[in-house]
Amino acid sequence: MDFNQLQTFLRVSEYGSFTKAGEQSFISGTAVMKQINRLEAELNLKLFVRTATGVQLTPQGKKFQPYVQQLLDLLNTAIEETRRVRSDDKQLILLGTSLLHPADAFMSLWKELAPKMPKFQIRLVQLQEDLNSRNREYAMLGRSSDLIVGTFDSTTLKQSFSAIQLGAYHFGIAVRSDNPLAQLDEITYSDLAHRKVLMVSTGISEKNDLVRSEMLAAEPSIQPIDTSGRYDINTFNETVEENIAMISLTPWKRIHPNLVTVPLKTSVTVPYGLLSTKFPGKKTADFLHEFTKLVPTETQSHS
């Protein structure tokens, strides 16, 4: 029995469905069912009754539920209290960072704001990926980190995230340095005619979907190649190895030494900012409340 199994048990209890619980955890309904099966086997308890329309708690499950909630609440409290002791009574905020989600934009701002928010301390943590999720690092938000700096749009925010906008990234086309496209100052859709273009599949990013629609409307001969989820380092390796074009964004210009990113001619931009879960916990909520009172007026809040 582990922490994730107990969280999954509570989500299934709440939503009455393996599929709906999986959507909240960014994993498949089958993966949720396997977690519950393992939990029931380890505890030798029957927690749910499976029906054609969903699942319901058994009497044993109903008895077990409040204890699980208390246990997880107590664990969260213990972690937060322990972090405060280690940090000289400061509230420790874990900010996830990685190659694809660099924290530079926020940390530059934090240098100015830190003296005005003395009860908080930022700790950078390396983001891990949840490979069962199409949202990968985003799926770890609230688990291995309190906040991340990442892209978002209405599609992202519908998936249990909240965001405070810090700016906007611009689209570009990443190609191998020996690709003829690398010599251009700007790439238009006509430059991509009859070419393969690597990009995330539809439904993950509203802004990416807008670029896809705009691109295919302007040049139907372009061949989109879908990734299995959001980008990871293998996406950049594939672009190099296959010598194809890839939709890229401002902060990814220097991820791979063999790739050159050329601005794409489009008016579509992608907002980026500070992302949290919809229900981040008191410590993170307090931080975000203080932060939003101090950020520049042009910064926009989303929820």
Which of 58, 81, 104 is at the close of a domain? Answer: 81
Which of 60, 81, 102 is at the close of a domain? Answer: 81
Name the average pLDDT for the chain: 86
Q: Residue 89: what pLDDT?
A: 67
Asked whether 123 and 76 are in contact (CB, 8 A), the reply is no
The identity of residue 130, as a single letter, is D
pLDDT digits (tens, 9 = 90+) for 165-200: 999 999 999 999 999 999 999 999 999 999 999 999
pLDDT surpasses 50 at 281:
yes
Within this chain, do residues 113 and 250 fall inside the same structural domain, yes or no?
A: yes
pLDDT surpasses 90 at 216:
yes
* Domain CATH for 24: 1.10.10.10
Q: Residue 128: what pLDDT?
A: 66
pLDDT surpasses 50 at 132:
no
Question: Quick check: pTM over 0.75?
Answer: no
Which of 81, 111, 138 is at the close of a domain? Answer: 81
Within this chain, do residues 69 and 167 fall inside the same structural domain, yes or no?
A: no
Residue 108 belongs to a domain:
yes
Q: Residue 134: what pLDDT?
A: 46
pLDDT digits (tens, 9 = 90+) for 12-44: 999 999 888 888 777 888 888 999 998 888 888
Residue 137's pLDDT band, with cuts at 50, 70 and 90, is low
Q: What is the mean pLDDT of residues 212-236?
A: 92
Residue 86 belongs to a domain:
no
Within this chain, do residues 98 and 180 fall inside the same structural domain, yes or no?
A: yes
Residue 132 belongs to a domain:
yes
Tokens 């960072």 correspond to 97
pLDDT surpasses 90 at 300:
no
Q: Which domain holds residue 56?
A: 1-81
Within this chain, do residues 16 and 70 fall inside the same structural domain, yes or no?
A: yes
Residue 88 belongs to a domain:
no
Within this chain, do residues 175 and 249 fall inside the same structural domain, yes or no?
A: yes
Within this chain, do residues 181 and 221 fall inside the same structural domain, yes or no?
A: yes
Within this chain, do residues 60 and 188 fall inside the same structural domain, yes or no?
A: no
Phi-psi domain of 227 (left: phi exceeds 0; alpha: psi -120 through 50; beta: other): beta
Residue 129's pLDDT band, with cuts at 50, 70 and 90, is low
Residue 257 belongs to a domain:
yes
Q: Residue 268: what pLDDT?
A: 96
pLDDT surpasses 80 at 282:
yes
Residue 89 belongs to a domain:
no
pLDDT digits (tens, 9 = 90+) for 98-122: 888 888 889 989 999 999 999 999 9
Give me the number of domains the chain comprises: 2
Residue 177 belongs to a domain:
yes
Q: What is the mean pLDDT of residues 145-171?
A: 84
Within this chain, do residues 73 and 130 fall inside the same structural domain, yes or no?
A: no
Q: Residue 127: what pLDDT?
A: 75
pLDDT surpasses 50 at 141:
yes
Residue 15 belongs to a domain:
yes
Within this chain, do residues 293 and 190 fall inside the same structural domain, yes or no?
A: yes
Within this chain, do residues 141 and 287 fall inside the same structural domain, yes or no?
A: yes
Within this chain, do residues 192 and 250 fall inside the same structural domain, yes or no?
A: yes
* Domain CATH for 254: 3.40.190.290
pLDDT digits (tens, 9 = 90+) for 50-101: 988 889 999 999 999 998 888 888 887 777 766 655 555 678 999 988 888 8
What percent of the chain stands above pLDDT 70? 88
Within this chain, do residues 158 and 222 fall inside the same structural domain, yes or no?
A: yes
